[in-house]
């Protein structure tokens, strides 16, 4: 086998990753590389690290998942396939399952090169580009693991079994996802206002303050470099949870924050207003960054309580901007047959969501 440095390979890089690097750092879920290659085998030269939350990865060969595994610390070679007819072209995707982890500044997978006895035949191509923005649902929490598993652990999250990956396969679409479990459009599940997805939407590759920093995480993304046909924002579930949770004390300012319910259990209007404003502002940001993309707000896989709030914000955004290229799409709530680990949508729930979205996207992109 011959060793090829990343820069010498015609490959497709999945995710908002700095193309100028000599390596490919997989900093978030769905980040990966994909190649068309001849030869009987293909191996990756990988370096990984973590402190508390180990990174997970998956391999798809010719569009089918063959492997899914934790990547341990250290420099290592990982077999992407072996034993295949060398004259045929094999399409291989190696990608990160785990979202960017703010809880672990070290979590990282870096691809340095590939070995093969064959040759690279140009990167795979796609008919569409789709961008997904979300929370734990889009980070695939619940798509692996037993129903009785209730720990928040890396192995229960995935990209492989999300609606995102299913849609990508069905529509031959290159998909990117910016998602953080527990985050919202305005504030996180625990009322932490720092955990708002808009704060990271315009950055490349995941969260600042992590290993990713040395690979450019947190730098401004060049939106002109990759124009999605549609952007699907699946946020609101954690904002809603804030109404149930106790106040959050901001460790920097000492201030307490909470979304409040009235004595009758209804959401307090001015707190709903905070969410709506955040939605409107985020839509303006997304539109500014992506003038031509169809934008769809998704909601419902873990409950419908903010349906009208989100819809109202979308209407306000449309009224304020005149932008008609925005839609609202509700997805069926996860039930006892479709739930996965940790009370989150399981693989079956993601299949149902994917089917609805595939139908929708076929008519709109």
# residues contacting a second copy (CB under 8 A) = 57
Structure tokens belonging to residue 128: 């569409």
CB-wise, 202 or 273, nearer to a second copy?
Answer: 273
Does 52 help bind a second copy (rule: CB under 8 A)?
Answer: yes
The site map against a second copy for 297-326 (x = CB under 8 A) is ---x---x--xx--xx-xx--x-----x--
Identify the residue among 1, 79, 227, 285 touching a second copy (CB under 8 A).
79
Which residues is 36 bridged to in the sheet?
Answer: 91
Does 153 help bind a second copy (rule: CB under 8 A)?
Answer: yes
Does 360 help bind a second copy (rule: CB under 8 A)?
Answer: yes
Structure tokens belonging to residue 141: 């929490």
258 SS3 class: coil
Cα–Cα distance measured from residue 60 to residue 42, given in angstroms and rounded to the nearest whole number: 13
Residue with structure tokens 């999300």?
A: 162
Contacts of 276 (CB under 8 A, 6+ apart): 309, 312, 313, 316
Does 245 help bind a second copy (rule: CB under 8 A)?
Answer: no
Minimum CB separation of residue 326 from a second copy in Å reads 8
Minimum CB separation of residue 253 from a second copy in Å reads 30
Does 63 help bind a second copy (rule: CB under 8 A)?
Answer: yes
Minimum CB separation of residue 36 from a second copy in Å reads 14
Contacts of 160 (CB under 8 A, 6+ apart): 58, 60, 65, 68, 97, 140, 143
Identify the residue among 329, 343, 351, 365 touching a second copy (CB under 8 A).
329
Cα–Cα distance measured from residue 166 to residue 351, given in angstroms and rounded to the nearest whole number: 7
Minimum CB separation of residue 337 from a second copy in Å reads 9
Does 282 help bind a second copy (rule: CB under 8 A)?
Answer: no
Identify the residue among 85, 172, 244, 321 touching a second copy (CB under 8 A).
85
Does 291 help bind a second copy (rule: CB under 8 A)?
Answer: no
Identify the residue among 9, 12, 21, 67 touching a second copy (CB under 8 A).
67
Cα–Cα distance measured from residue 115 to residue 92, given in angstroms and rounded to the nearest whole number: 13
What backbone phi and psi angles, to 5 degrees, belong to 321? -110, -20
Identify the residue among 155, 160, 180, 238 touching a second copy (CB under 8 A).
155
Cα–Cα distance measured from residue 205 to residue 211, given in angstroms and rounded to the nearest whole number: 11
CB-wise, 214 or 362, nearer to a second copy?
Answer: 362
Q: What interhelical angle do 163-171 and 347-364 show, nearest 10? A: 40
Cα–Cα distance measured from residue 90 to residue 323, given in angstroms and rounded to the nearest whole number: 43
The angle subtended at Cα 59 by Cα 56 and Cα 62, nearest 5°, is 160
Identify the residue among 34, 54, 229, 239 touching a second copy (CB under 8 A).
54
Cα–Cα distance measured from residue 162 to residue 353, given in angstroms and rounded to the nearest whole number: 9
Identify the residue among 26, 37, 46, 154 touching a second copy (CB under 8 A).
154
Residue with structure tokens 């692996």?
A: 144
Cβ–Cβ < 8 Å for 168, 175:
yes
CB-wise, 9 or 153, nearer to a second copy?
Answer: 153
Identify the residue among 24, 55, 81, 134 touching a second copy (CB under 8 A).
81
Does 328 help bind a second copy (rule: CB under 8 A)?
Answer: yes
* 81 φ/ψ sector (left φ>0, alpha ψ -120 to 50, else beta): beta
Identify the residue among 105, 268, 327, 365 touching a second copy (CB under 8 A).
327
Cβ–Cβ < 8 Å for 180, 139:
yes
Structure tokens belonging to residue 93: 């995707």
Minimum CB separation of residue 141 from a second copy in Å reads 13
Does 126 help bind a second copy (rule: CB under 8 A)?
Answer: no
Binding positions for a second copy, rule: CB under 8 A: 52-54, 61-70, 72, 77, 79, 81-85, 144-146, 148-156, 264, 266, 300, 304, 307-308, 311-312, 314-315, 318, 324, 327-330, 332-333, 335, 341, 355-356, 359-360
């Amino acid at each position: 086998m011959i060793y090829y440095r990343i820069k010498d390979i015609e490959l497709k890089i999945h995710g908002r990753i700095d193309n100028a690097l000599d390596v490919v750092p997989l900093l978030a879920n769905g980040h990966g590389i994909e190649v068309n290659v001849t030869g009987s085998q293909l191996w990756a030269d990988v370096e990984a690290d973590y402190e508390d939350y180990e990174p997970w990865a998956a391999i798809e060969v010719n569009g089918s998942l063959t492997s899914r595994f934790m990547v341990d610390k250290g420099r290592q070679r990982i077999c992407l396939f072996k034993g295949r007819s060398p004259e045929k072209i094999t399409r291989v995707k190696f990608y990160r399952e785990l979202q960017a982890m703010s809880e672990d500044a070290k979590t990282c997978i870096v691809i340095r090169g590939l070995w093969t006895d064959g040759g690279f035949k140009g990167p795979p191509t796609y008919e569409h580009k789709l961008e997904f923005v979300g929370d734990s649902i889009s980070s695939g929490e619940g798509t692996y693991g037993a129903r009785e598993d209730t720990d928040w652990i890396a192995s229960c999250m995935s990209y492989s079994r999300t609606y995102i990956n299913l849609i990508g396969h069905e529509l031959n679409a290159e998909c990117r996802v910016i998602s953080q479990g527990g985050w919202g459009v305005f504030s996180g599940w625990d009322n932490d206002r720092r955990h708002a997805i808009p704060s990271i939407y315009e950055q490349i590759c995941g969260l600042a303050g992590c290993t990713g920093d040395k690979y450019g995480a947190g730098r401004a993304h060049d939106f002109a470099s990759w124009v999605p046909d549609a952007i699907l924002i699946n946020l609101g579930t954690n904002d809603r949870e804030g109404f149930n949770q106790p106040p959050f004390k901001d460790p920097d300012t000492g201030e307490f924050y909470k979304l409040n319910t009235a004595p009758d259990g209804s959401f307090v209007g001015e707190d709903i207003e905070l969410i709506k404003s955040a939605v409107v502002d985020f839509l303006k940001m997304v539109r500014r960054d992506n003038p031509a993309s169809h934008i769809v707000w998704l909601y419902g896989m873990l409950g419908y309580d903010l349906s009208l709030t989100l819809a109202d914000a979308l209407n306000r955004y449309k009224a304020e901007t005149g932008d008609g290229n925005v839609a609202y799409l509700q997805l069926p709530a996860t039930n006892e047959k479709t739930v996965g680990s940790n009370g989150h949508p399981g693989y079956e729930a993601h299949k149902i969501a994917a089917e609805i979205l595939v139908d929708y996207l076929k008519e709109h992109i």
